[in-house]
Amino acid sequence: MDWAKAKTILIAAFLVINSFFAYIIFTNGTGSIGYVSSERIKQITDYLAKNNITVEGKIPVKKTDMPLITVKYKLFRKEDIGVFFSPDEKVEESISGGIITLRGKDKEISIKDNRELDYADSSIRPSDTISEKVCRRIIKEFLGRLGMKDDSDIKTVENIEGYKRFVYVQSFKGAVIYNSIIEIYANDSGIKNARVICFEAARQLGKKAGVISPVVALLYLPEHNKKVGVPIKKVTEIQQGYYFGTGTMNQVDASKVEGGTAFPVWKITTDRDIIYINAYNEKPEGIE
């Protein structure tokens, strides 16, 4: 046997194996996907428990690196909602605190800050039999009249007291943009209620960057409890996504902002608030 040649082959094989394991360790820690150890999760949940906060929801065991994105709200004008009234219908208009409201015989439609639309039609009565296919066609037509496409992701479809409730959310490359929502109650007769807040444009801004672990985001909660009268006691859910806001310091009039940068966040749902923690710098981006 040629031992010199065999030795060379073995050394080369070990180098390949070591490079492979080094790649796995590196990518798991700093690549597009990282993992959270069960030991670290236990450390944080024990710490929160000592601060009288119980984590009931499942903590994600992986985190995904994400880029910044820029977004722009879909803006609505009075002319956009006027199309829902017949030409000969008497329509009353009122303006109060940045909200424009049009009232007709059966419909009442309002726009807040040009970007939050609420729709109600009192003529649509509850029904025992509802076709989801028919409802989706009606919703598509409704959104079309607002100059929108029916291209958001359906998050929820459920039956509620004679109507089907549809909840749509927008996403960017699979990550939910939490500020957007289309919530519609409908049956085969039409749309009973609708609430629409969405973005008409979203694009990537730069390359992906590393994000903090979800357990690091949870460390904000004890600090948050020091600032509020009624403390958080339970965490029911934590999710990764995007949030577009102006921070929590109220330094900017959010009603005047039409677009900007949406940050990767951890959305923490609790028994008191929904808190959005910036996944880059660990600071709160928004509290609802």
Please write the tens of the pLDDT for every residue from 129-140.
999 999 999 999
| Claim to verify: residue 252 and residue 164 sit in the same structural domain | no
Q: Which of 197, 219, 240 is the last residue of a domain?
A: 197
Q: Which two tokens stand for residue 52?
A: 């009288």
Confidence of residue 124 (pLDDT cuts 50, 70, 90): very high
Residue 34 scores a pLDDT above 90: no
Q: Which domain holds residue 159?
A: 75-197
- What is the model's pLDDT at position 3? 54
Question: By three-state DSSP, how is residue 32 classified?
Answer: coil
Percentage of residues of the chain with pLDDT beyond 90: 64
Please report, for the domain that includes residue 56, its CATH number. 2.40.128
Determine the number of helices (DSSP H) and then strands (DSSP E) in the chain: 6, 19
Q: How confident is the model at residue 19 (pLDDT cuts 50, 70, 90)?
A: very low
Residue 16 in any domain: the answer is no
How many angstroms separate the CA atoms of 104 and 110, rounded? 12
pLDDT at 218: 95
- Is the pLDDT confidence value at 1 over 80? no
Q: Cα separation of 36 and 219, whole Å?
A: 15
Alpha helical stretches, state H, 31-131: 38-50, 78-82
Output DSSP code: residue 177.
B
% of the chain residues with pLDDT over 70: 85
CA trace torsion 214, 217, 218, 221 (10° rounding) = -160
Bigger pLDDT: 25 vs 48 = 48
Neighbours of 228 (CB within 10 A): 11
- Look at residue 250 and tell me whether its pLDDT is greater than 60: no
Residue 115 covered by a domain: yes
- d(Cα 213, Cα 246) in Å, to the nearest integer? 23
Given a cut of 80, is residue 44 above it in pLDDT?
Answer: yes
Residue 257's pLDDT is what? Answer: 72
Q: Give pLDDT, residue 117.
A: 96
Q: Yes or no: say if 268 and 217 are a contact pair by the CB < 8 Å rule.
A: yes
pLDDT digits 0-9 by tens, 184-229: 999 999 999 999 999 988 899 999 999 999 999 999 999 999 988 8
Both 86 and 121 in one domain: the answer is yes
Where a domain ends, among 197, 222, 257? Answer: 197
CA–CA separation, 3 and 25 (whole Å): 33
pLDDT at 266: 97
Q: Over the chain, what is the mean pLDDT?
A: 85
Question: Exposure string (b/e) for 99-119, b if CB count within 10 Å is 16 or more?
Answer: ebbbbbeebebbbbbbbbbbb
For residue 18, being part of any structural domain is answered with no
pLDDT recorded at residue 256:
67
Domain count, the chain: 2
Query: Are residue 192 and residue 121 in the same domain, yes or no?
Result: yes
Read off the pLDDT of each residue in 74-79 and give the average, rounded to a whole number. 92
Q: Looking at 156, 177, 197, which one is the last position of a domain?
A: 197
Give residue 23's pLDDT band: very low, low, confident or very high (50, 70, 90). very low
Q: Please check whether residue 173 lies inside any domain of the structure.
A: yes
Q: Which residue has the higher pLDDT, 34 or 90?
A: 90
Decide if 242 is inside a domain: yes
pLDDT for residue 282 is more than 60? yes
pLDDT, residue 201, reads 80
Q: What is the pTM of this model?
A: 0.79
CB 179 within 8 A of CB 197: yes
